[in-house]
Amino acid sequence: MILSVTDIITPETLATCRAQLEAADWVDGKASAGHQGALVKNNEQLPAEHPVAVEVGNVLLQALSQNPMFMSAALPLNILPPMFNRYAGGQTFGTHVDGSIRTIPGTGQRLRTDLSCTFFFSEPDEYDGGELIIEDTYGSKSVKLPAGQMVLYPSTSLHRVTPVTRGTRLCSFFWLQSMIRSDQQRSTLFDLDVAIQRFGKEMATHPSVVQLTGVYHNLLRQWAEM
């Protein structure tokens, strides 16, 4: 499932975060890439421990914890602290797959990367190129979202960022481990939850809504890994 998530932070918060990021000191993005990724990665990145990365990352995580669409689609168990990158002057990131296991900084705790997230700080008309190309079962999908929106997609997907030939593409990226390992099961639960909430707005106490809610939680109970 590839999903765009909206209404994450307010325009005012977005502007504040972007100003902080633009004033920060950036380094070569290869520093955080694995062996395969370093061969095709050409961008700039904020060090994970940079105060701005920590502060803006916390803003995003707090906002996402209150975003119903994100919580329903991701069913997160653990989330890595958001990281930040920027592309300009022809920079690009060739086709790669994200590492399957990552360590949560400062904890030694390992996390399985089930879902990858890219949050956009730049508007699409501010730069040329920079599309996130995600390859899935149905072919390639090109993603270039408005500032303030985020795409959520399976970390198993091959993906790339096309060269940015004008302007600057500024984004956050991070990974999470879901309570539901299977993308298919996660998609089923998301579709069921969306349907329940849609019907629940008009007839929350209807026996069928209550029954469907029970089905949702029983499937979650059966499939979840804690």
Residue 203: per-residue pLDDT: 78
How much of the chain, in percent, has pLDDT values that exceed 70?
A: 97
Q: Hey, what domains does the chain have and what are their CATH numbers? A: 3-178 (2.60.120.620), 183-223 (4.10.860)
Question: Could you count the other beta carbons within 10 Å of the beta carbon of residue 45?
Answer: 21
Q: What is the pTM (predicted TM-score) of this model?
A: 0.94
Query: Distance of CA 123 to CAs 75, 84, 102, 119, Å?
Result: 28, 16, 30, 11
Task: Kindly state the average pLDDT of the residues 112-117.
Answer: 98
Task: Kindly state the average pLDDT of the residues 27-38.
Answer: 74
pLDDT tens digits for 119-139? Answer: 999 999 999 999 999 998 889
**Residue 200: pLDDT band with limits 50, 70, 90:** confident
The pair of structure tokens assigned to 89 is: 């002057």
The H-assigned helical ranges of the chain are 11-22, 35-38, 51-64, 68-74, 183-203, 207-223
Least confident of 89-93, 137-141, 188-192: 137-141
pLDDT tens digits for 59-87? Answer: 999 999 999 999 999 999 999 999 999 99
**Residue 206: pLDDT band with limits 50, 70, 90:** confident
Task: Kindly state the average pLDDT of the residues 2-13.
Answer: 97
Distance of CA 101 to the CA centre of its chain: 16
Residue 36: per-residue pLDDT: 66
